[in-house]
């Protein structure tokens, strides 16, 4: 049997949600990732150090017995965030801050309406050595949804990066050739995460033959030329691009809905989905850098010391996952066959 062994990977972008949901989401990620950057878009959002540390404790309490999984916490920036909030968060051990333009995505209504007003906060982050994680889409109603990332780069991201050359910036879940190019040509302080869905799918997978709500996420899937650009950039082994699943659970009835939620719940098959992509591209040797090296290197953290093994063995992603209260949830890629499987879960 063919197998590959990797240094234990981390997930540099995901959503665990809270309370009962943690009993489902934390074990799913702890299955193969040693650490994860946990998004703060709870209801209400995680806006200060105290809330972040309390949330961290709830996540730790949901770890499977014996798991050493480590959540890396983030703050949700709002119009009210102050430089003092940043200093307190840094002192408390918060890893990074997340910028959502208000209205850009799930639970972002309380987020930032005027990005330039936050420049003093970015200044404090630059000083504290705290990375800024960005959902890079404009929200103006007249801008086409497929252009929102590209316009964000021109109008918001470029000015931020120019104004704060010492600020670490992660352009999260990039979806376009323009984003890949922007990050490639930017300084070493700018990196990006890429999700499995944006590598595996394009907008045809969302819209052809009927709307596929389980492939709906934000930023929305783009045309195949953009998917191709993302695949090329991961195949190149460029260390500015690393793993961030954006695994984002929503109950089935909230996805299969007249106003369906955005998000793909990929945690149970995350590393296998990426292995599929790298195998399709003929660059399995590049998977370890993307999954296990470039993220900690960018964040200035140690690489993990353990390993995981993936074996070449076909399996089907389950059609459904039941939440602790019995509510069904449809995982990303449900019912589809993957060719690599984490050894421990065989
Ligand atoms: O598809 C998405 N789902 N994109 C996001 O930015 C947020 C996430 C969620 O929280 O469900
Ligand atoms: Zn996300």
Give the angle 344-244-80 at the CA atoms, nearest 5°.
135
Mean pLDDT to the nearest integer, 9-29: 98
Q: Is 41 in the pocket of ligand 1 (CB under 6 A)?
A: yes
Contacts of 47 (CB under 8 A, 6+ apart): 40, 75, 76, 78, 80, 81, 85
Say yes or no to pLDDT of 50 above 80. Answer: yes
CA–CA separation, 297 and 242 (whole Å): 10
Q: Is 106 in the pocket of ligand 1 (CB under 6 A)?
A: yes
Percent of the chain surpassing pLDDT 90: 94
Predicted pLDDT at 280: 98
Closest ligand 1 atom, residue 104 Cα: 6
CA–CA separation, 127 and 329 (whole Å): 42
Predicted pLDDT at 319: 98
pTM, rounded to two decimals: 0.97
Q: Is 125 in the pocket of ligand 1 (CB under 6 A)?
A: no
Strands (E), 128-262: 132-134, 169-171, 190-194, 241-243
Predicted pLDDT at 110: 76
Which region among 6-20, 94-108, 298-312 has the lowest average model confidence (pLDDT)?
94-108
For a mutational test of ligand 1's pocket, the pick from 11, 25, 41, 219, i.e. the residue with the most ligand atoms closer than 8 A to its C-beta, is 41
* Atom 7 of ligand 1, residue of closest alpha carbon: 106
CA–CA separation, 138 and 142 (whole Å): 10
Say yes or no to pLDDT of 6 above 60. Answer: yes
Helices 49-61 and 22-30, interaxial angle, to 10°? 80
CA–CA separation, 118 and 125 (whole Å): 11
The 10s digit of each residue's pLDDT in 54-78 is: 999 999 999 999 999 999 999 999 9
Predicted pLDDT at 112: 81
Query: 89 near 130, Cβ under 8 Å?
Result: yes
Give me the count of residues in the chain.
346
The 10s digit of each residue's pLDDT in 186-223 is: 999 999 999 999 999 999 999 999 999 999 999 999 99
Average predicted confidence (pLDDT) for the chain: 96
CA–CA separation, 12 and 295 (whole Å): 7
Q: How far is the CA of 172 from the centre of ligand 2 (A)?
A: 8
CA–CA separation, 14 and 265 (whole Å): 9
Residues with CB under 5 A from ligand 2 (ion): 246
Of 137, 133, 180, 141, which Cα lies nearest the Cα of 295? 133
CA–CA separation, 120 and 77 (whole Å): 12
Q: Is 135 in the pocket of ligand 1 (CB under 6 A)?
A: yes
Mean pLDDT to the nearest integer, 80-96: 98
Predicted pLDDT at 346: 37
For a mutational test of ligand 1's pocket, the pick from 13, 15, 212, i.e. the residue with the most ligand atoms closer than 8 A to its C-beta, is 15
Q: For strands 96-99 and 132-134, give the pairing.
A: parallel
* Atom 4 of ligand 1, residue of closest alpha carbon: 218
pLDDT band at residue 104 under the 50/70/90 scheme:
confident
The 10s digit of each residue's pLDDT in 332-343 is: 999 999 999 999
Predicted pLDDT at 265: 98
Say yes or no to pLDDT of 345 above 70. Answer: no
Predicted pLDDT at 103: 83
Helices 270-280 and 224-235, interaxial angle, to 10°? 90
CA–CA separation, 194 and 188 (whole Å): 17
* Atom 2 of ligand 1, residue of closest alpha carbon: 263
Predicted pLDDT at 1: 62
Q: For strands 321-322 and 328-329, give the pairing.
A: antiparallel
- Active site includes 246? yes
Burial of 336 (0-12, 13-18, 19+ CB in 10 A): middle
Closest ligand 1 atom, residue 100 Cα: 6
Q: Is 175 in the pocket of ligand 1 (CB under 6 A)?
A: no
């Amino acid at each position: 049997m063919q197998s590959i062994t990797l240094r234990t990977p981390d997930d540099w972008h995901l959503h665990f949600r809270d309370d009962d949901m943690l009993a489902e989401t934390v074990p799913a990620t702890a299955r193969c990732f040693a650490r994860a950057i946990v998004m703060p878009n709870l209801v209400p959002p995680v806006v200060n150090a105290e809330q972040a540390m309390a949330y961290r404790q709830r996540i730790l309490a949901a770890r499977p017995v014996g798991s050493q999984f480590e959540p890396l916490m983030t703050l949700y920036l709002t119009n009210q965030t102050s430089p003092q909030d940043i200093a307190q968060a840094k002192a408390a051990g918060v890893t990074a801050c997340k910028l959502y333009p208000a209205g850009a995505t799930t639970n972002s209504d309380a987020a930032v309406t005027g990005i330039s007003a936050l420049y003093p906060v970015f200044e404090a982050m630059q000083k504290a050595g705290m990375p800024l994680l960005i959902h890079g889409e404009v929200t103006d109603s007249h801008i086409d949804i497929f252009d929102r990332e590209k316009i964000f780069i021109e109008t918001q991201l470029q000015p931020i990066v120019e104004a704060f050359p010492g600020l670490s910036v992660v352009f999260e879940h990039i979806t376009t050739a323009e984003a890949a190019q922007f990050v490639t040509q930017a300084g070493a302080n700018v990196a990006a995460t890429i999700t499995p869905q944006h590598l595996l799918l394009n907008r045809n997978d969302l819209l052809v033959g009927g709307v596929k709500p389980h492939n709906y996420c934000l930023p929305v899937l783009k045309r195949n030329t953009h998917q191709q650009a993302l695949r090329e950039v991961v195949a190149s082994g460029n260390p500015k691009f690393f793993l961030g699943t954006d695994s984002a659970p929503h109950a089935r009835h909230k996805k299969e809905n007249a106003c369906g939620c955005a998000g793909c719940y990929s945690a149970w098959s995350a590393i296998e989905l990426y292995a599929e992509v790298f195998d399709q591209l003929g660059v399995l040797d590049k998977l370890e850098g993307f999954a296990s090296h470039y993220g900690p290197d960018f964040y200035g953290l140690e690489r993990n010391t353990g390993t995981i093994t993936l074996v070449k063995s076909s399996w089907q992603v389950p059609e459904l996952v039941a939440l602790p209260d019995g509510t069904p949830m449809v995982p990303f890629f449900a019912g589809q066959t993957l060719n690599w499987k984490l050894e421990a879960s065989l």
